[in-house]
Amino acid sequence: MRAQADAGANIAFIKYWGVRDEALNLPLNDSISMTLDAARTTTAVEFSPRLADDVLTINDKPASEAALRRVSRHLDLVRERAGVTWRARVRSRNTFPMGAGVASSAAAFAALTAAAAAALRLELDGAELSRLARRGSGSAARSVYGGYVWWHAGTDDTSSFAELLAPPEHWDVRDVVAVVATAEKAVSSAEGHRLAHTSPFLRARLAQTQRLLPCVREAVLRRELALLGPCIEADALAMHFVMMSSRPPLFYWAPETLALIKAVHLWREAGLAVYFTIDAGPNVHLICEAADVEQVIARVQALEYVREIIVAGPGPGIVLQEPA
Ligand code: DP6
């Protein structure tokens, strides 16, 4: 009973920040993202009646207790659905450097969900896989699909799932990740989602997402970066204002983060079509079209405080593979 699946991380254009229901990972707002081709996780799952416990390796090394617990809890949902109690051996590998500041939980839980479901011969459609992946990590709900994806917040387990807006080949956008720090973040996004409620600016941001979501959708469908860019910058800033005004406050930025934001504004004034977005960390994602990516990379490379650059384009969703 084994299967293997590959899935990509995603960069959100409209972010998920704040939960309505922690147990079910039901978000407070809809979100839109692009699944990435260059930051992926491949996971093999083998269920066996002979195993006493779940076993997890990440990049060929035994995983931490905390990671194993989170994966076991997620496998329990899949086991329950299939009506089995067998434990599993899980081998997960990332194609991107761990600790490079690229969030890996979306790719990890999308790949795990698909591999575990396939190993247990569960026949799930995209929406069902998305609901199940969401339980492991909210943003994993979106990584089930490739290209451009809309996650409907919903109000319960059934209504909260992602759907495809446009496939990867629809629009050749690039995400140039300027890595400025590689340390583990001090506050997990799970904790941050809980704290969002304590910010007086949460309501303002949620109202703004209602206005931005249809713009981002239109921008993606019409392939208009000049429409997309201002929306994604406005939402990333609003999310960080919520973080910074939570109690206790969360500061994910480093001084280099603000320096990069200012650099992007200067580059744009000079005629380069590039926009930024920032997740729950200090690294800055520079969003541009493929035609401009070399220019963007050259400008980022010239900044002495950028430690590493990762370049990704739109990639496929879950890909089932032959187990090695
Ligand atoms: C800032 O999906 O990582 O990247 O459900 O706790 O795994 P968990 O949270 P997660 O939160 C993502 C936060 C974000 C914005 C986004 O990707 O939408």
Which pair of tokens denotes residue 52?
């006493």
Does residue 17 sit in helix, strand or coil?
Answer: coil
pLDDT at 101 over 70: no
pLDDT at 151 over 60: yes
Which pair of tokens denotes residue 248?
């206790």
Q: Is the CB of 312 under 6 A from ligand 1?
A: no
Does residue 285 sit in helix, strand or coil?
Answer: strand
| Cα-to-centroid distance, 274 and ligand 1 (Å) | 23
Give the model's pLDDT for residue 99: 54
Top pLDDT among 169 and 186 is at 169
Q: Is the CB of 315 under 6 A from ligand 1?
A: no
pLDDT at 184 over 90: no
Q: Is the CB of 151 under 6 A from ligand 1?
A: no
| Cα-to-centroid distance, 279 and ligand 1 (Å) | 8
Residue type, 97: P
Q: Is the CB of 14 under 6 A from ligand 1?
A: no
| Cα-to-centroid distance, 16 and ligand 1 (Å) | 6
Give the model's pLDDT for residue 128: 98
pLDDT at 193 over 60: yes
Give the model's pLDDT for residue 194: 95
Distance between CA atoms of 192 and 171, rounded to whole angstroms?
32
Q: In what order do the strands lie in the sheet with 274-277?
A: 274-277, 284-289, 173-179, 308-312
Q: Is the CB of 15 under 6 A from ligand 1?
A: yes
Q: Is the CB of 187 under 6 A from ligand 1?
A: no
| Cα-to-centroid distance, 105 and ligand 1 (Å) | 8
* For the CA of 19, the nearest atom of ligand 1: 5
* For the CA of 16, the nearest atom of ligand 1: 18
Distance between CA atoms of 145 and 127, rounded to whole angstroms?
10
pLDDT at 175 over 70: yes
Provide the pLDDT confidence category of residue 324 given band limits of 50, 70 and 90: confident
Does residue 227 sit in helix, strand or coil?
Answer: helix
pLDDT at 4 over 80: yes
What's the whole-number average pLDDT of the chain?
Answer: 95
| Cα-to-centroid distance, 189 and ligand 1 (Å) | 6
Q: Quote the DSSP letter at residue 280.
A: S
Residue 156's φ and ψ, nearest 5 degrees, are -155, 180
Q: Is the CB of 42 under 6 A from ligand 1?
A: no
* Helices of type H across the chain: 65-82, 105-119, 126-136, 140-143, 189-195, 202-222, 225-244, 255-269, 293-301
CATH 3.30.230.10 given to domain 1-324: yes
CB-based contacts of 93, cutoff 8 Å, min separation 6: 41, 42, 43, 58, 59, 60
Interval 223-240 mean pLDDT: 98
Give the model's pLDDT for residue 82: 97
Per-residue model confidence as pLDDT tens digits over 42-98: 999 999 999 999 999 999 999 999 999 999 999 999 999 999 999 999 999 998 766
pLDDT at 186 over 60: yes
What is the best residue among 70, 189, 205 to mutate for testing ligand 1's pocket, by most ligand atoms within 8 Å of CB? 189
Distance between CA atoms of 12 and 220, rounded to whole angstroms?
13
pLDDT at 37 over 90: yes
| 44 sits in which H/E element | strand 31-48
Interval 182-191 mean pLDDT: 80
CB of 31 closer than 8 Å to CB of 143: no
pLDDT at 252 over 80: yes
Q: Is the CB of 31 under 6 A from ligand 1?
A: yes
| 37 sits in which H/E element | strand 31-48
Q: Is the CB of 139 under 6 A from ligand 1?
A: yes
Domain limits, the chain: 1-324
Nearest partner of 63 among 86, 39, 89, 85, judged by Cα: 89
